[in-house]
C-alpha cells in the first residue's frame, strides 16, 4: 500500500482504507494494530511507527505487518500529541517503548510522562515496556526473519523515514542514529512475545459473517 488514511473497526477486526501502489483506493483487512516509539534523545528526534497485522496470510503462510504510518518530533510534548492523534486514527491499542530510557541522561522520564499524558486525556491505549529493549542484535535478527518471511510490508513507491534508515544500516552501524529502527524492533519484539491479538472490545464491532467480496 502506498498510503493508509484511516482504520475502522469491522467484523471483529479492522479495515484499513488507503491508496495502493497503483494509485487506486483500496482496503486491507487487519486483525490488530500496534505501535512502537523511540523517545527523543536531544541529539536525535523522537519517532513512532504504527503497524497492522494483515488478516490474510501470504504465500509462505505468515500474516504480514502492514506499514500504517510514522512520525518524528524533536520535543516530547509534540511527539505525544502527534502520536496520540495517529493512534486514534489508526486504532492502535498497544504501544511499545523503552522504559529504561526514564533512567537515562538527557530526555529522561518520557515513558512516565507519556503514561500520564494518556491518562489525562482518557485514552485507552496500553503502554507496555518493549521486550528485549536493550538487545539491539535481537532486533536485527527479528527484522531479518521478517524480510525472509516477506512479512514486513512497507511502502515501495515512496520513501519513508524507516525505509531510508534501514537502507543505510550495516553490520558496523552505530544503532543510535537509526532511531526508526528502534521503534521497529520494539514492535517486532512485541509481536514475537505477545502473539495473541490484543483486542479492545469497546472499539470492535461484534463478529458477523461476510462474503469474500467484502474483504476487497
Q: What is the pLDDT of residue 124?
A: 86
Q: What is the pLDDT of residue 195?
A: 75
Q: What is the pLDDT of residue 30?
A: 97
Mean pLDDT, to the nearest integer, of 122-128?
90
Q: Give me the domain span that covers residue 19.
A: 3-194
Asked if residue 65 belongs to a domain, the reply is yes
Asked if residue 161 belongs to a domain, the reply is yes
Q: How many domains does the chain have?
A: 1
Q: What percent of the chain has pLDDT over 90?
A: 70
Asked if residue 201 belongs to a domain, the reply is no
In the three-class reduction of DSSP (H, G, I as helix; E, B as strand; rest coil), residue 166 is classed as helix
Asked if residue 170 belongs to a domain, the reply is yes
Asked if residue 62 belongs to a domain, the reply is yes
Measured distance CA(151)–CA(146) in Å, rounded: 5
At 13-36, the pLDDT tens digits run: 999 999 998 899 999 999 999 999
Contact 48, 183 (CB under 8 A): yes
At 155-193, the pLDDT tens digits run: 988 889 999 999 988 766 677 889 999 999 999 999 999
Asked if residue 103 belongs to a domain, the reply is yes
CATH (domain of 181): 3.30.420.240
Asked if residue 215 belongs to a domain, the reply is no
Say if residue 182 is exposed, middle or buried (CB neighbours under 10 Å; 0-12, 13-18, 19+): buried
At 39-96, the pLDDT tens digits run: 999 899 999 999 999 999 999 999 999 999 999 999 999 999 999 999 999 999 899 9
Contact 64, 32 (CB under 8 A): no
Asked if residue 58 belongs to a domain, the reply is yes
User: 131 phi and psi, to 5 degrees?
Assistant: -60, 140
Stronger pLDDT, 105 or 72, i.e. the higher one: 72
Amino acid at each position: 500500500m502506498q498510503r493508509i488514511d484511516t482504520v475502522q473497526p469491522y467484523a471483529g477486526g479492522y479495515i484499513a482504507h488507503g491508496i495502493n501502489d497503483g494509485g487506486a483506493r483500496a482496503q486491507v483487512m487487519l486483525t490488530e494494530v500496534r505501535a512502537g516509539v523511540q523517545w527523543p534523545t536531544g541529539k536525535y528526534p523522537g519517532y513512532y511507527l504504527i503497524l497492522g497485522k494483515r488478516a490474510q496470510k501470504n504465500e509462505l503462510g505468515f500474516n504480514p505487518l502492514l506499514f500504517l504510518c510514522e512520525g518524528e518530533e524533536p520535543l516530547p510534548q509534540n511527539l505525544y500529541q502527534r502520536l496520540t492523534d495517529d493512534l486514534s486514527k489508526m486504532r492502535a491499542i498497544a504501544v511499545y517503548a523503552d522504559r529504561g530510557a526514564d533512567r537515562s541522561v538527557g530526555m529522561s522520564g518520557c515513558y512516565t510522562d507519556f503514561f500520564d499524558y494518556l491518562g489525562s486525556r482518557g485514552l485507552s491505549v496500553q503502554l507496555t515496556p518493549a521486550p528485549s529493549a536493550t538487545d539491539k542484535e535481537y532486533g536485527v535478527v527479528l527484522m531479518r526473519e521478517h524480510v525472509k518471511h516477506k512479512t514486513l510490508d512497507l511502502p515501495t513507491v515512496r520513501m519513508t523515514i524507516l525505509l531510508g534508515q534501514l537502507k543505510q544500516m550495516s553490520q558496523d552501524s552505530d544503532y543510535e542514529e537509526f532511531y526508526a529502527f528502534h521503534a521497529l524492533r520494539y514492535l517486532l519484539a512485541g509481536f514475537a512475545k505477545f502473539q495473541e491479538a490484543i483486542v479492545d472490545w469497546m472499539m470492535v464491532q461484534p463478529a458477523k459473517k461476510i462474503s469474500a467480496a467484502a474483504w476487497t
